[in-house]
Structures are given as C-alpha cells and as structure tokens.
Structure 1
Amino acid sequence: MDFSQFVNQFIALLVIANPLSALPAVLRLTRNQTLLEKRQTGLTCAFAVGVILLISVWIGSPLLLLLGIKLPAFQVAGGVVLFILALSMLNAEESPIKQTVEEVKERKSESGAIVPLAIPIIAGPGAISSIIVDVNQFPGLFNQIVLSISAILVALVMGVILYFSANLEKMIGSSGINVINRLGGLVLAAIAIQSLTNGVMGLFPFLAQAQ
C-alpha cells in the first residue's frame, strides 16, 4: 500500500464511519450530563471505535479464511451494505442496517458510549466490512500496520468531533450536518459501486477480459 492508497483508504473509512451522523445520538444521550461528562462520553466512544476497528484489521483476513469466504464475494456484500448506508445518508435517514429496534431503545437510555454509539452507529457493518476487504486486498504485516494507523487516525478524528459535539451543533446547526451527511453519502455511493464492480470482476473474470 502506497501513500495515495493509504489516504484514499483513510478518507473512505472516515466517510463510512460518518462521525457527524452520531452527533444527534450523542447530544440526546448526554442531554442531562455536565460538559465534562459529555466529553468523557465522547472520548470513551472514540476509544471503543478504535478498538473495534483494530480488531477488524487483525482478525479480518483469518476470519474470511476460517469461513471459506473469498475476497470478491465479500467485496460484493460489502458494496451492497455501503450502498444502503449511502442511500440513507443521501435521504437524511437513520440507517436500517445500523440500528435494530433494541438498539434504538438503547439510544434513548442515559448511557451508551460503547453500545450503541461506538457499535453499531459508528463502527457499524459498513466500516467493519470495509476494513476486512482492505486487509485482504493489501495483505502482509506492513499493510496491516498501515491499516491499523488509519484506524487509529479515524478514532482520533472521532474523538475530536465527539469531544466538541455540543460546540459543533451550535456552529453548523442541524442543516449544516444534513448537508455534510448528503455530500458524504454521495462519496460513499461511489465507493460502494467501485467495491461492487471489483467484486463482480473477481467473481466473473471473463467480464474483465471482455473489456
């Protein structure tokens, strides 16, 4: 993995995790907390996101091998998941993939820095599947270390955004958050289509040869 590939992977993972989508949930969960407690909740969530992403980096490839799943098949599945997430972002809707009925109820409770904020709202199926695809697309210890750095950087960005969540809401407002979410959804849709294309080409090599 070269530097440009690292940058692309980092941006893609950040868009998929979409920290701005977690802001409304964070603000609701911390509405009765002091400013210090709100910031502690944000940092706890970011730390949990980092741990989840790192686990995905280091067990992603062995997990696919154990289950007998080939990379192209996982690329197609991951592409479908990402495209659904992209549509929900473009329509300013809560993703049906990220939240079950039980998870929505949990969001209304007074605690939830790890569940449901860290997982599945931020480090959801999209982020996890994206990392597993990257691990298999860029094998080797060096690339795993690079992907780990990317995961840590994403967690750090999450930490900063969630730490200043109350300030960000006042600065850009709900309309600003919706605009950014829609732009992110457009980028994510392109990433999803590329993943689907790569997966289909891998499953049916004759399609690539026909080009």
Structure 2
Amino acid sequence: MNLKLLGEVFVTLLVIVDPPGMVPVFLALTGALPARDRIRAGTQAVLLALGVIVVFAVAGQTILDYLHVQLPALQGAGGLLLVLVALQLLTGKTDAPEDQGGTSNVALVPLGTPLLAGPGAIVATMLFVRRADGSVDYLVIALGIMAVMLLVWLVLRFSGVIVRLLRPGGIEVLTRIAGLLLAAIAVQLIADAVAAFVRLYG
C-alpha cells in the first residue's frame, strides 16, 4: 500500500475541509435544533459530501467537459452560494427549521456542499485520481477520503457539547462570527476563480 499517497490525500483533504473550522458554521445553522436532528444533519451532510466527492473522483472531468464548464466556474459558483448563506447568518434571517422540512436543507446546502464537498476538495480529489497508478492507488485514495469524512462526522457528532456550553446567547454570537468567516471564505473562492479565469484566458 502506498502510505505516502494515503498521507497526502488525508492531510490535503483534512486541511481543505477543516473540521474545526466547520464547527462554528455547523452550530450556527443547527444550534437551535434538537440534539437528534443536529446529529442527523451532520450525518446527512457528511454522506452527501462523500457522495459528491466520489462522483467527481470517478467522473468529474467527464461531467465538466460534457457541460463545457471549467473548474474555476465551479469555484465561483460555490463562492456565490456561500455569500448568500453568509448574508443570512449575518442578518439573522435564516429560515426556521420547520420551514426547511426538517434538517435536510441545512444538511445538503451549505453543509454538505459547498462547505464539505467544495471546489477545493473536488479539485484536489480529481488531481489525486489523475496521479493514481493502478487499482491499489485508487483504493488508497478511497481510504483517505473515507478517513477524512469519518473524522468530520465525529467532530460534528460531538459538537453538542459546545452547544450546551454556549447556550442560546452564545449561539447567537457564534452565528454572526460564522457568517463573517463564511463571507470571507466566499470572497476568497470568488477571487481565486477570477484569478484562474484570467490565467486561462489572459
């Protein structure tokens, strides 16, 4: 087994996904939900992210080529989506959980994608797959992805401890901070997409 490749996949995706950095956003979006619904939202988000990453690992370049979409376009779209979510968090105008049909909407967008399975994770995975040499390397990449997603799930699963410590007032403050951080991530994604387009067409 190629342990070097496994380490590269694990560390790269772990840095991109950033489980500790996900906690404030996760709590801001799910802090008002019952513990069971919050855990379910975390599980759904991780499963969706895993599915999206696997799909793009297997057929990502084919999908983008068929749609005539460049990777920077995917990055820019993710940034714009995060801007909308960040504005909701900053203004406190997020939808009530009962208006969202349970936890599904929060789990799918923005938690599952583009936060967990964002452009960075998708592109990194596609590049690792291109480098792979044989079925053993594909298995190693799959193990690395699974390990990262398991770690993310564990972090989100036990975020309830933080909820109990913060109380509603603390969650409100955390929501505003998360909105600001999310806005910064969104702006960076859009800026990177613009820079990539300039390099492509400049």
Above 0.5 in TM-score?
A: yes
Look up the SS of the partner of 1:108 in the other structure: helix
Aligned residue identity for 1:165: V
Look up the SS of the partner of 1:112 in the other structure: coil
CA distance in 2, matches of 1:125, 1:93: 16
Partner of 1:161: 159
Partner of 1:145: 143
Listed one character per residue, the Cα deviations across residues 61-106 of structure 1 (whole Å, up to 9, x for unaligned) are 3333443528x9442122212322454466x4359xxx9xxxx47x
Partner of 2:16: 12
CA distance in 1, matches of 2:81, 2:169: 26
CA distance in 2, matches of 1:4, 1:62: 19
Partner of 1:119: 108
TM-score for the superposition, normalised by structure 1: 0.64
CA distance in 1, matches of 2:169, 2:11: 28
Identity %: 11
CA distance in 2, matches of 1:112, 1:82: 23
Aligned residue identity for 1:128: A
Listed one character per residue, the Cα deviations across residues 1-24 of structure 1 (whole Å, up to 9, x for unaligned) are 585774453243247x94433435
Q: Could you tell me which runs of 5 or more consecutive residues in structure 2 were left unpaired when the two chains were aligned.
A: 133-137
Listed one character per residue, the Cα deviations across residues 129-162 of structure 1 (whole Å, up to 9, x for unaligned) are 4233222122131233323322222222222225
Q: CA deviation at 1:119?
A: 1.0
Pairing of 1:101-112 with structure 2 (within 5 A) = 104=95, 107-109=97-99, 112=102
Partner of 1:132: 122
- The answer (yes or no) to whether the contact 2:28–2:89 under 8 Å persists in 1 is no
Aligned residue identity for 2:73: A
Partner of 1:81: 77
CA distance in 2, matches of 1:55, 1:110: 22
- The answer (yes or no) to whether the contact 2:23–2:159 under 8 Å persists in 1 is yes
CA distance in 2, matches of 1:154, 1:183: 19
Instruction: State yes or no: 1:52 paired with 2:42.
Output: no
Partner of 2:38: 42
TM-score for the superposition, normalised by structure 2: 0.66
2:59 to 45, 63, 68: 63
Partner of 1:194: 192
Instruction: State yes or no: 1:26 paired with 2:16.
Output: no
Structure 1 stretches of at least 4 aligned residues deviating more than 4 Å after TM superposition: 1-6
- CA change 1:77–1:145 in 2 (3 A) is farther
